[in-house]
Amino acid sequence: MRTPTPVQLLQIWERGGSASAAARGLLLLGCCGDAERSAAELAALPLGRRDALLLELRERLFGDAIDAVAPCPQCASTVEAAFRCSDLRLTTPADDAPTLAHDVSVQGMHVRFRLPDSSDLIALEDCGDAGAAHTLLLERCLLAAEGDDTYGLSTELQAEIAEAMAQADPQADLQLAFRCPDCGHAWQPLFDIAHFLWQELHAWALRQLREVDTLAQAYHWSEAEILALSPRRRQAYLELCAP
Ligand SMILES: [Zn+2]
């Protein structure tokens, strides 16, 4: 993985302005990409693999420490918790195991499936409701089905498949541990690194533009010239022209 430049990051931020969370995740991966992976290959990475790579990118861009904030579901207090990217990475990005096909057998039916990926998330965006999305996801991920299909994909079989998917790719369903200091309630909210990293990128991008604006007004340099300054030199100029 290579670390994107500030210019590349601003381009990603601009292109992803009205994109979905899944598409933004792909934009982020594309900009740090090793050239061997095409856009189609990135879209076909199981979500856990995608998230492990996004956690690595996050560490490169903004450091290992993550300060997360969530409202307590019990008393609505704002609860803060600190995590590390390294603690949240369950599989290494080089781990190929989750890309394999998986098997589940229930009531004489045997099915083979693959793990959900970004292309599935993008395909599900047009689904009106959660039930339709669930059915479409199963259809897309099913590779083969054999046996007594009198009942089709029974509710029980669908539940087994969902459970097997979660077990095969735990990185895709990352839960954080929160405890409210006010009421003692403990809960485990899901952590969506694609969403979280995009929010951080958005705040970072607005800060960059504010700094470009300040320096351009003071020194009449172009955006490209200001973005090419080292962080230290840029900071020094910002301090010099501060009122
Ligand atoms: Zn509480």
Question: What would the pLDDT profile of 83-139 be if each residue is shown by its tens digit?
Answer: 999 888 886 555 555 567 888 888 788 899 999 999 999 999 888 888 888 888 999
Query: Is residue 182 within 8 Å of residue 75, measured between CB atoms?
Result: yes
pLDDT value at position 22? 93
Q: How high is the pLDDT of residue 158?
A: 87
Q: Ligand 1 mean position to 186 CA, how many Å?
A: 8
Of 155, 173, 191, the residue that ends a domain is 173
Helix (H, G, I), strand (E, B) or coil at 106: strand
Residues 13 and 109 in one domain: no
Structural domain ending residue among the three candidates 117, 152, 173: 173
Question: Given this model, what pLDDT does residue 64 score?
Answer: 95
In a domain, 212, yes or no: yes
In a domain, 60, yes or no: yes
Neighbours of ion ligand 1 (CB under 5 A): 72, 74-75, 77, 180, 182-183, 185
- Output the average pLDDT for the chain: 89
Residue-number span of the structural domain to which 114 is assigned = 97-173
Do both 156 and 102 map to the same domain?
Answer: yes
Other beta carbons within 10 angstroms of residue 14's beta carbon come to: 9
User: Is there a single domain that holds both residue 66 and residue 162?
Assistant: no
20-29, 148-157, 165-174: which range is least confident on average?
A: 148-157
- Report if residue 17 sits inside a domain: yes
β strands within 25-173, DSSP E: 65-71, 78-84, 102-106, 109-113, 142-147
204/171: higher pLDDT: 204
Sign of CA dihedral 42, 91, 131, 125: negative
Whether residue 182 sits in one domain with residue 122: no
* Domain presence at residue 158: yes
Model confidence at 242: pLDDT above 90: no
Q: How remote is the CA of residue 59 from the centroid of ligand 1, in Å? A: 30
| Residues 174 and 88 sit within 8 Å (Cβ to Cβ) | yes
- Residues 21 and 141 reside in one and the same domain: no
Determine, yes or no, domain membership for 1.
no
Whether 200 contacts 12, CB under 8 Å? no
pTM of this prediction? 0.88
* pLDDT single digits (tens) 177-212: 899 999 999 999 889 999 999 999 999 999 999 999
Task: Compute the distance from residue 108 Cα to the ligand 1 centre, in Å.
Answer: 47
Q: Is residue 15 part of a domain?
A: yes
Q: How many domains does the chain have?
A: 2
- Give me ligand 1 centre to Cα 177, in Å: 14
Q: Residue 29 and residue 37: Cα distance in Å, rounded?
A: 10
Whole-number Å distance, alpha carbon 143 to ligand 1 midpoint, is: 44
Name residues whose C-beta falls within 8 Å of residue 180's C-beta, 6 or more positions apart in sequence: 72, 74, 75, 77, 79, 186
Q: Identify whether 49 is part of a domain.
A: yes
